[in-house]
């Protein structure tokens, strides 16, 4: 694989995606399910090869991490098959003509979701399967009926090329239109594609800086397009006095396990732990951190970035280094734990509140709930916010949830934010800078909605309506008819 | 009312909106329904006064137009009460913990929609009730639980002030938090508010130029926000040879009625009528246009803009003036009908394909279906596209619908695009430049979704969950539980 693709090749790819769009939109639900299943099956079949390649390029452990991530990825493709089979994602609602409609006679109006058209997906570095070539953005766009042009992440080039080859072959074997999926590489090709009028939406997972730069391009186009960027998050975890008293040691151990998971390269890594003053967990935290072996980061760029950023954090006023991690080779680090009193955190450099990608986290000790609330109010919105507390601390916990509910896409109780299950009710998103599109999710069944737009049909005879809207409901869809659900 | 508001007043208003947000979010469904109903009742009570003021400031006819528009407006407020009572808008889905979940053990995850926060609404000039102070954007934002800061349109200042006074008083009487609704005026105040971090989303109805300028501001903020702009649309109407043969005279008459309705100041005005060559309807069209009396436009600015734009269209190469409208006084015009062969339209200035706000429309005569398809492909996406045809012309009609389905938010069959019913299945939107947010609608029950974002709750005991997500379903919501609907 080269450092980019030729302009002529990009032109061919965009043209093919554009040409495939009408066929993809017109495909029956069973066809689209077959496409997704074929991709999942092909990836499962190639699992050993893919996992080995991924391990080589990303330095992530094969078990449980990479095997688990691939399982998640193929599960996700099949779950979107279930989303299609379920049919609610089409939002097929019908209002029959009604002369008595209170605002005046109503014509027959029927609405259904249609695919937006070709989607440009920017792959992430830290999840070489689940947020890369055949990851959630690709799966949900294909499920919606959109062709996908995938911009590979340079952090795992060979794996990307191999995965893309499998995806393309599986789709074509399953009868999908040529052009439904293609991969491009190189920053220039990505930006050129993002500006191209044939691209109708884009999705991205990565840093705030990178995501914002692409968002700015997407919205500055003569024809702006939806840009679904999942960016950064500090993921605060608040521990109440009651929780410290009841199970402080467990919390200390679990916190360290969570912020060092995957070498701290998760967008849901707990970046700040709020502990009450006098928590008495210093020794437990120190021991837990010291017990974690060195882990390699994804690549040189990330390793260098982490070391620089960590140096800034350690040098910040009033920051105490509880455990100083070490660089053990070109890529590898043992974890670092920092601490600061909340009173100093309140006046500290804003950089202290920003994500640090790698195995480090910051403990903020608070004097009382009022001080804690002030510190939480300083934080940018994020993907998650976690409370470890006791149900009996009703007032304290409710006050915290009232604050955190305004700041996060997912609230976690007595668990840890790392690990994002793929399910019907999942939400992975949040107000900016967690994402560039606060009303949407990039994980879970609802992710498909990002790549659809509604079309209303007014006054059509049954034979001219799309099948989803015909009176006899040939697809057996859940529909709202004349305002009544389940009709 | 002045030409703007003082900075200190704006500060107070934004602060009050921000302060009202938590209470508005926490309000029980019955409370929000009461707020909306109170506003509707108060507007109905003041109908005579309001309609008289509106007629004075907008020159629109009292009956049926303004009375009908106010009825639509209060109906819309009450419909959003029904949307709240129905509960599906909350998307309250539950996945119980599942150790057997195929991708790995699943925690208990429950999702519900919450309001985004204070919404800035820019009122439109052409619908002084339905898209103004208490219009669809305001109604759907309030229904979602968002405080509204309403930027008044200068085209109906007194009506805006009077309506805003009624809305505020009704909300406060109904127990809504102070700050839930306020009105501001002046371009500068609008732009300042749009840039303010306390504003979390904005909605706009108006011109492409105005909407794009505001969109650009909204997405360039340090914290970009969703900007729901409903902009321009040419609303093509295609007439097949069969329809001309069967009911050409009716179509000619109805077309003229549609494009002159409200003096052509509708975003759904049919701006282009495609007729087959040799349609033989010239005389009927001429008579129909000539029978429409002069109507006043909304204001001096629009009248001047219309006259200028019309002059450009008439001067464009190959454009034939079928009926030349006249300016009969400062504000009033009789309608104008233009025509051009499709072969010339294909190479004409792009300006010919843009919206002309006022009582004018363009007939494009096509030689055959291939030429028609080429002409349609030139058009920007829009809010609507209409086909007048015969069901027996199956091939011709299906080919047209396949094209138009990609270009419009609403397809209309043998009816006219003007008149947008407010209902459950309605969609009023479309790809840019129809809107700046193609996945959303500004009319109908689904408009509420623009002002909500999801929050997932992971692992919480029942007592700490929001009521919408509790196991016993105290609000009786439709919920998807473990992937099953209607549980």
Assess A217–B contact: CB distance below 8 Å, yes or no.
Answer: no
For A145-192, the pLDDT digits (tens) are 999 999 999 999 999 999 999 999 999 999 999 999 999 999 999 999
A336 touches A362 (CB < 8 A): no
Cite the active site residues of B.
Answer: 230, 267
Chain A CA closest to residue B469:
A425
* A483 found inside a domain: no
Confidence label for A101 from pLDDT (cuts 50, 70 and 90): very high
Residues 6+ apart with CB under 8 A from A197: A221, A222, A223
Q: How many residues does chain B have?
A: 487
**Which residues of chain B are within 8 Å of residue A431 when distances are taken between CB atoms?**
116, 200, 223, 453
| Helix (H), strand (E) counts: chain B | 14, 17
Question: Distance from A86 to chain B by nearest Cα, in Å?
Answer: 9
CB A37 within 8 A of CB A77: yes
Same domain, A365 and A456: no
Asked if residue B430 is part of any domain, the answer here is no
Chain B residues with CB under 8 Å of A480 CB are 88, 424-425
B253 shares a domain with B211: no
Active site residues of A: 230, 267
* Residue A3: pLDDT over 70: no
Summarised one tens digit per residue, pLDDT across range B89-105 is 999 999 999 999 999 99
A325 plus A355 within the same structural domain: yes
Based on the fold, state whether residues B247 and B212 are members of the same structural domain.
no
Closest-CA distance of chain B to residue A466, Å = 10
Banded model confidence at residue B10, pLDDT cuts 50, 70, 90: very high
Q: Examine the domain organization and report whether A208 and A59 are in the same domain.
A: yes
Note whether residue B163 is domain-resident: yes
Q: In this predicted model, what pLDDT tens digit does every residue of B317-346 receive, in sequence order?
A: 999 999 999 999 999 999 999 999 999 999
Beta partners for residue A203, in sequence order: A121, A228
B433 in contact with A, Cβ within 8 Å: yes
Contact B114 A405 (CB under 8 A): yes
Cross-chain Cβ contact B406/A22 below 8 Å: yes
CA distance to B238, B323, B345, per residue, from B375 (Å)? 11, 23, 7
The pLDDT value given to residue A8: 75
Show the domain range for B73.
Answer: 7-231+437-469
Residues A69 and A169 in one domain: yes
Contacts of B410 in chain A (CB under 8 A): 455-458
Identify whether B39 is part of a domain.
Answer: yes
Percent of chain B having pLDDT more than 70?
A: 99
**The domain that contains A403 carries what CATH number?**
3.40.309.10
How many CB contacts within 8 angstroms connect chain A with chain B?
Answer: 242
Indicate the pTM of the whole model: 0.97
Nearest by CB to B410, which of A456, A463, A482?
A456
Residue at B483 is within a domain: no
Chain A residues touching residue B235 (CB < 8 angstroms): none
A410, containing H or E segment: strand A408-413
Taking contacts as CB-CB distances below 8 angstroms, the residues of chain B near A401 are: 464
A52 and A190 in a single domain? The answer is yes
Judgement on whether residues B130 and B257 belong to the same structural domain of the protein: no
Same-domain status, B28 and B91: yes
Best to test chain A binding among B103, B221, B228, B402 (most A CBs inside 10 Å):
B103
CB contact under 8 A, B449 and A439: yes
Q: Please report whether residue B21 resides in a domain.
A: yes
Tell which residue, A330, A268, A247, A251, has the closest CA to residue A296.
Answer: A330
Least confident of A221-225, A280-284, B4-8: B4-8
Reported ipTM:
0.97
Same domain, A216 and A121: yes
- CA-CA distances (angstroms) from residue B300 to A192, B124, B210, B303? 44, 16, 18, 5
Percent of chain A residues topping a pLDDT of 90:
98
Task: For residues B227 and B252, state if they share a domain.
Answer: no
Task: Give the CATH number of the domain where residue B52 resides.
Answer: 3.40.605.10
- B191 falls within a domain: yes
Residues in contact with B280: Cβ distance below 8 Å, sequence separation at least 6, in sequence order = B244, B248
Tens-digit pLDDT profile for residues A297-339: 999 999 999 999 999 999 999 999 999 999 999 999 999 999 9
Of A436, A388, A88, A422, the residue nearest B453 (C-alpha): A436
Domain membership of residue A481 (yes or no) is: no
Q: Are residues B39 and B94 in the same domain?
A: yes
Alpha carbon dihedral A329, A331, A335, A337, in 10-degree steps, equals: 110
Interface probe for B, chosen from A456, A461, A469 (most Cβ of B below 10 Å), is A456
Chain A residues within 8 A of B226 when measuring between CB atoms: 437-439
B261-275 average pLDDT score: 97
Answer for the pair A227, A218: CB distance below 8 angstroms, yes or no: yes
Interface list for B 56-115 with A (CB within 8 A): 68, 71-72, 75-76, 82, 86, 88, 91, 93-95, 101-104, 106-107, 109-111, 114
Tokens of A168: 């393309």
- Beta-carbon separation of A109 and B432 below 8 A: no
DSSP H or E run through B19: helix B7-26
Q: How many domains does chain B have?
A: 2
């Amino acid at each position: 694989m080269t450092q980019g693709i030729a302009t002529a090749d990009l032109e061919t790819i965009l043209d093919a995606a554009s040409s495939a769009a009408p066929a993809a939109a017109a495909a029956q639900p069973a066809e689209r399910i077959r496409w997704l299943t074929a991709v999942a099956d092909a990836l499962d079949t190639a699992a050993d090869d893919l996992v080995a390649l991924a391990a080589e390029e990303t330095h992530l452990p094969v078990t449980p991490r990479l095997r688990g991530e691939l399982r998640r990825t193929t599960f996700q493709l099949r779950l979107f098959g279930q989303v299609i089979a379920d049919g609610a994602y089409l939002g097929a609602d019908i209002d029959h003509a009604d002369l008595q409609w209170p605002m005046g006679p109503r014509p027959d109006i029927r609405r259904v979701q249609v695919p937006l058209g070709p989607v440009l997906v920017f792959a992430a570095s830290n999840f070489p399967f689940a947020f890369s070539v055949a990851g959630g953005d690709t799966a949900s766009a294909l499920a919606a009926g959109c062709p996908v042009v995938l911009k590979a992440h340079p952090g795992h080039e060979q794996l990307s090329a191999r995965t893309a080859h499998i995806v393309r072959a599986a789709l074509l074997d399953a009868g999908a239109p040529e052009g439904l999926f293609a991969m491009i590489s190189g920053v220039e090709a990505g930006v050129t594609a993002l500006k191209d009028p044939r691209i109708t939406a884009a999705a991205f997972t990565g840093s705030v800086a990178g995501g914002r730069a692409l968002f700015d391009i997407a919205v500055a186009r003569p024809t702006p397009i939806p840009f679904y960027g999942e960016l950064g998050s500090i993921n605060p975890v608040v521990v109440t006095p009651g929780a410290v008293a009841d199970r402080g040691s467990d919390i200390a151990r679990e916190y360290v396990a969570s912020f060092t998971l995957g070498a701290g390269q998760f967008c849901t890594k707990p970046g700040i732990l709020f502990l009450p003053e006098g928590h008495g967990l210093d020794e437990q935290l120190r021991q837990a951190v010291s017990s974690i072996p060195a882990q390699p980061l994804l690549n040189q760029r990330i390793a260098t970035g982490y070391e620089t950023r960590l140096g800034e954090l350690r040098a910040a006023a009033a920051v105490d280094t509880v455990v100083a991690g070490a660089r053990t080779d070109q890529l590898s680090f043992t974890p670092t734990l920092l601490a600061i009193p909340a009173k100093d955190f309140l006046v500290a450099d804003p950089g202290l509140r920003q994500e640090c990608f790698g195995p480090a986290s910051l403990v903020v000790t608070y004097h009382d709930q009022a001080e804690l609330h002030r510190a939480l109010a300083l934080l940018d919105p994020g993907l998650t916010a976690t409370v470890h507390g006791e149900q009996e601390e009703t007032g304290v916990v409710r006050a915290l949830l009232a604050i955190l509910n305004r700041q996060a896409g997912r609230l976690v109780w007595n668990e840890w934010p790392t690990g994002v299950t793929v399910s019907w009710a999942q939400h992975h998103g949040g107000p900016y800078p967690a994402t560039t599109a606060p009303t949407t999710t990039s994980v879970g069944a609802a992710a498909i909605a990002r790549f659809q737009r509604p079309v209303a049909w007014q006054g059509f005879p049954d034979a001219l309506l799309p099948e989803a809207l015909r009176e006899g409901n040939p697809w057996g869809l859940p529909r709202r008819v004349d305002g009544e659900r389940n009709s």
